[in-house]
Structure formats: structure tokens, C-alpha cells
Amino acid sequence: MVKSSVLKNNYKTNIMRKILLLGLAIVLFTACDQKDTRYTQQSPEIDIVKKAIADYNTKEYDLSIYADTSKTYFNTKTNPLEVDEIIAYHQANDANYSSRKFLDEDQEYEMVVTDDGQTWVNAWLDWQGTLKESGKVVNIPIHLTYRFIDGEIVRSVGFWDPTEVVLGLQEIEREKAMSVDEKTIKSTIDAIVTAWNANDQNAMKAKMTDDFVRTENGNVVAESPQEYATNVMNTFFSGFPDFKVTLNDYELIGNKAVITWTCTGTNTGEFQGQITNKPITTHGTSIWTIEKDGRASREEAYFDNLTLFQQLGYSMPAPPKS
């Protein structure tokens, strides 16, 4: 009888031990599962944010995804938008663009649950817009984040750098205030930059007078449109097939345009007898003289040749011996 009782007690002990181990396993599994759900890239909340992005692109807004008390903060910590103000906000901005949208490429979404149990969806997106009056294309990375309660958006926050848009709109207003002669000069400068970037020598020559002269740092390098094409454009595009010119800023003084520019390219062709495969970035200033008919008669260009050659790997020669 004693032996039977011991066996029964051992059996009960083993059963209890197994039950405790099973309970511990369940607790650990549940804890791990809860931990895993604190971060995900697939959830109903993420799908709702993706719908909000799609609605923005189509301009067909479904405000039912927002709680009635939801607040939206765009580039601000104060004065949030109420739900019924969101559409008007977008429509006011849309007046500046001929097109705008979030791009499909490189979209990233994640949902996180904070330590205090708040559910947030973060989105990292690339936005592109074309200014209606200038045709300027602007690309801006944007971060959006949404807080959810019971499947509804209760708070939206968005941050981005609007500088390029603001400068573009200021430039439009600046051009509106120009006189007819100033607009002619600016149009010629824009055409020259476009011809440079397309390596369109015929278009370039069409914007020059027959006696056109170009100087570089005070030295004459071309005395006709054809020499400009041969001595200047051919030289750079032969050495740098991807050569590009960016107009940074300009000032109009009488019939002259003082412009600052940046040129970039990669030395994959022969330049000064060498091919280095190295990139260059050079900055400079040009003074263009524009005649009444909108053609340029002179360019005086100033830039740092030393920096350009150093980027290609050239070194300074040794100093002369005394």
C-alpha cells in the first residue's frame, strides 16, 4: 500500500510539473506574440494610410477614415486642421500645380505600438509636383505619421522641406513683375541654358548675333557663334558627355544678365588629352549682353580653372627656380 501511494504521489507530481511547464510555455508564447505585433509592415491600419495616399493622388477624398475629433498637423505644431478642413487645404495648394502626386517608387510604411499602447503608422514617401506657371518640376521627400484608435485616424502629422516650392513661386512672381525687355532677356537666358543641356548647337547659334564674342576670365575664346560651338561646347561635351548647366540665380541690369551657374559632368571622353573618369562640379558667373532682338552679342565668363583641374587629378606645377 505504501508503494502504491508513493507511485500515485509521483504521478501527480509529474502531472503538475507538466501543467506548470505548459502554462509557462503558453505565457512565453503569448508574450513573444504580443512583442512581435508591436512592429509590422502589414496591417489594416497601414492599408488605411495607403488608401489616404491613393485618395490624395486621385483627389477623391474619403474622410470616413478619420475620427470626428481628428487633428492634422502639416509642418506645424499648432493650429491643426479639422477633418472638414483637409480637402480645402489640398485644393488651395493644388492651385499652384499643373500636376502633383506621391510617387509609387520607394514608398515605405510601418506600424508601431508604443510602450504606452498607442498605435502609429509611419510613411516615408517621395512627392513630385509641377508648378503650373513655370513648368518647374519639384521633388520632395515627405514623412507622414498617423495615430489610430479603433481603426480610425485620430491624429496626422506631416513634415517636409517646402523651400524649393517657395523659391519657385517667388520666381514666378518675380517674372510677372518684369518689363517686356526684361522678359526678353530672361527668355534668352533660359533658351541658352536649355541649348547647353541638350548640346543643341543650332539652337545656341540662333540666340547669338553674327559678331558674338565670348571671353573666359578676360581671354577671348570665341568671336562668332560657330567658334562658340566649336571651341566651347564641343570641348566640354567631348570630354564630359553628361555635361549639364544649372542656372542658380540671375540679376538683370539694363540689357545685361548677370548669372551664377553650376556645371557638372564626368570625364569619360578625351579632355586636355586625358580620360580620367572623374566627376567635376564647377561654379561660375557670366555676364550676358542681350540685344533688342533677343539675341546675345557677348558673354563674359568667370570661373576657377584650378579647382576644375584638381578635381580631375591634376596637380600644381613646381614653383619656378630663382
Q: If you classify domain 40-168 with CATH, what class do you get?
A: alpha beta
Give the rounded distance of the alpha carbon of 159 from its chain centre: 14
Q: Is 27 helix (H, G, I), strand (E, B) or coil?
A: helix
Question: Which residue from 241, 247, 240, 282 is spatially nearest to 261, judged by alpha carbons?
Answer: 247
Same fold, 40-168 and 178-311: yes
pLDDT of residue 7: 52
Looking at residue 15, its pLDDT comes to 63
Report the sign of the C-alpha dihedral through residues 64, 68, 69, 73, in that order: positive
Q: What is the per-residue pLDDT for 4?
A: 56
pLDDT at residue 16 above 80?
no
pLDDT score of 34: 46
Whether the pLDDT of residue 259 is over 90: the answer is: yes
Return the pLDDT at 9.
Answer: 60
pLDDT tens digit string along 96-118?
Answer: 999 999 999 999 999 999 999 99
Domain borders along the chain are 40-168, 178-311
* Residue 145 backbone phi and psi in degrees, to 5: -140, 140
d(CA 45, CA 42): 8
pLDDT band at residue 180 using 50, 70 and 90 as cut-offs: very high
- As a whole number, mean pLDDT of residues 184-188 equals 95
What's the half-sphere exposure (Cβ side, CA atoms, 13 Å) at 90? 19
Other beta carbons within 10 angstroms of residue 19's beta carbon come to 10
Determine which of 13-22, 166-175, 221-230, 299-308 has the lowest per-residue pLDDT on average: 13-22
Which helix or strand (DSSP H or E) is residue 177 part of? Answer: none
E strand or H helix that includes residue 313: none
Please tell me the least confidently modeled range out of 32-46, 91-105, 223-237: 32-46
CATH of 178-311, one of 3.90.180.10, 3.40.50.2000, 3.40.50.720, 3.10.450.50: 3.10.450.50
- Residue 272 belongs to what H/E stretch? none
Cα separation, 291 vs 212, in Å, equals: 11
Query: Which band of pLDDT confidence, cut at 50, 70 and 90, is reported for residue 319?
Result: confident
What are φ and ψ of residue 170, in 5° steps? Answer: -65, -40
The confidence score (pLDDT) of residue 83 equals 96
Upper half-sphere CA count for residue 6 (Cβ side, 13 Å): 3
Grid cell for residue 266: 564626368
**Mean pLDDT in the chain?**
90
Long-range CB contacts (< 8 A, 24+ apart) of 28-37? 37/113
Where does residue 150 fall: left (phi above 0), alpha (psi -120 to 50 degrees), or beta otherwise? Answer: left
Residue 23 has a pLDDT of 57
What mean pLDDT comes out for the span 54-64? 96
Q: Where is pLDDT greater, at 191 or 17?
A: 191
pTM, two decimals, is 0.64
Res. 30 pLDDT band, cuts 50 70 90: low
- Answer whether residue 17 shows pLDDT above 70: no
For residues 286 and 259, the answer to whether their CB atoms sit within 8 Å is yes
Q: Are 182 and 195 in contact (CB under 8 A)?
A: no
Q: What is the mean pLDDT of residues 219-248?
A: 96
